[in-house]
């Protein structure tokens, strides 16, 4: 590694911050590593549902999440972080990234749509298919309010950045991350109540599989969104981003607003809708 390369890597020598494979320009294996980790998470869920073994499922899930995060870090580091100020700004390249995020969100609509389709199928039959827990309580309402508020704080942060107000930009990002973390904690606590105290689990009939499949998938997306915003926040603390260079802020924001809208739809359809006619 030359001294210039060492400077570009900010002194890091870990595999995840190196161009892999090196010497291939824009080619990278990191997207494939990320995809493999994401696929492993679904495999772990399938193992759990099929009853092959909770220990095996947890082990596969933990390993897959690790691979996913390493791949995501390596991918984002080279796509956005490394050489941020030395790269030429291109409106064409920025638009490609934004359209790439839109295409990705379109695929996510298909994923959520499949699970919602399953729920609508069972909802059209005899209802309720089993005894349902009390779903619409203060916890889910507060959690929903916090997630909606986080979209407003993130939008405010973006506006502050475009106006050149870095202090409000950092404040808005920090508040958004805090609200996101509280939301994730609230969902974990809700799972604790359902699973430990009420015995309502993923294997509790067809509604249990639909409920935990949808809320779990959404929780995974919120967690990923929090990781993305966390990376943005750390980069912002290091002095990156400006009113002219903020494409990763806007794409991460698009993702966050997406999971917000999905949650609102999920609450109306799954939480409120399940208790209508029950």
pLDDT one digit per residue (tens) for the chain, 278 residues: 343 444 444 444 444 445 555 544 456 788 888 899 989 988 888 887 777 777 888 889 899 989 988 888 887 777 666 665 555 555 656 677 778 888 888 989 998 999 899 889 888 877 877 788 889 989 999 999 999 999 999 999 999 999 999 999 999 999 999 999 999 999 999 999 999 989 898 888 888 888 998 999 999 899 989 988 998 998 899 888 888 778 889 999 999 999 999 999 999 999 998 887 66
In whole angstroms, what is the distance from residue 215 CA to residue 143 CA? Answer: 13
Domain match, 122 and 223 both:
yes
Domain match, 11 and 130 both:
no
Q: Which residue, 65, 83, 101, sits at the end of a domain? A: 83
Check which CATH number belongs to the domain holding 187 and give it.
1.20.120.80
Domain match, 144 and 254 both:
yes
Domain match, 68 and 176 both:
no
Q: Which long-range contacts (CB under 8 A, 24 or more apart) does 42-47 make?
A: 45/216
In whole angstroms, what is the distance from residue 256 CA to residue 246 CA? Answer: 15
Q: Which residue, 34, 61, 83, sits at the end of a domain? A: 83
Task: Cite the DSSP H helix spans in the chain.
Answer: 3-8, 30-49, 54-76, 91-123, 138-162, 166-192, 205-237, 247-266, 273-275
Domain match, 246 and 224 both:
yes
Backbone torsions φ then ψ of 161, nearest 5 degrees: -65, -45
Domain match, 188 and 271 both:
yes
Domain match, 175 and 263 both:
yes
Domain match, 142 and 195 both:
yes
Domain match, 215 and 103 both:
yes
Q: Which residue, 37, 67, 83, sits at the end of a domain? A: 83
Domain count, the chain: 2
Domain match, 123 and 64 both:
no
Domain match, 65 and 158 both:
no
Domain range spanning residue 7?
A: 1-83
Structure confidence at residue 268 (pLDDT): 93
Domain match, 107 and 65 both:
no
């Amino acid at each position: 590694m030359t001294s210039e390369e060492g400077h570009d890597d900010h002194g890091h020598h870990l595999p995840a911050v190196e161009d892999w494979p090196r010497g291939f320009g824009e080619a990278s294996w990191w997207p494939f590593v990320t995809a493999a980790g994401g696929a492993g998470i679904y495999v772990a869920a399938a193992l759990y549902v099929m009853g092959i073994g909770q220990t095996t499922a947890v082990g596969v899930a933990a390993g897959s999440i690790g691979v996913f995060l390493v791949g995501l870090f390596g991918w984002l580091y080279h796509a956005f972080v490394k050489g941020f100020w030395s790269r030429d700004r291109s409106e064409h390249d920025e638009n490609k990234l934004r359209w790439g995020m839109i295409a990705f969100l379109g695929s996510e609509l298909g994923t959520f749509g499949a699970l919602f389709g399953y729920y609508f199928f069972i909802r059209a039959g005899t209802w309720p298919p089993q005894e349902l827990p009390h779903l619409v309580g203060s916890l889910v309402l507060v959690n929903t309010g916090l997630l909606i508020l986080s979209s407003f704080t993130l939008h405010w942060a973006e506006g502050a950045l475009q106006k050149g107000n870095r202090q409000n930009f950092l404040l808005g990002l920090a508040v958004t991350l805090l609200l996101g973390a509280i939301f994730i904690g609230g969902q974990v606590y809700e799972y604790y109540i359902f699973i430990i105290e009420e015995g309502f689990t993923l294997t509790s009939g067809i509604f249990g599989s639909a409920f935990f499949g949808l809320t779990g998938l959404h929780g995974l997306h919120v967690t990923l969104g929090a990781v993305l915003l966390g990376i943005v926040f750390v980069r912002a603390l290091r002095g990156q981003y400006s009113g002219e260079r903020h494409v990763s802020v806007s794409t991460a924001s698009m993702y966050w607003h997406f999971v917000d809208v999905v949650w609102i739809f999920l609450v109306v359809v799954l939480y409120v809708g399940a208790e209508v006619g029950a």
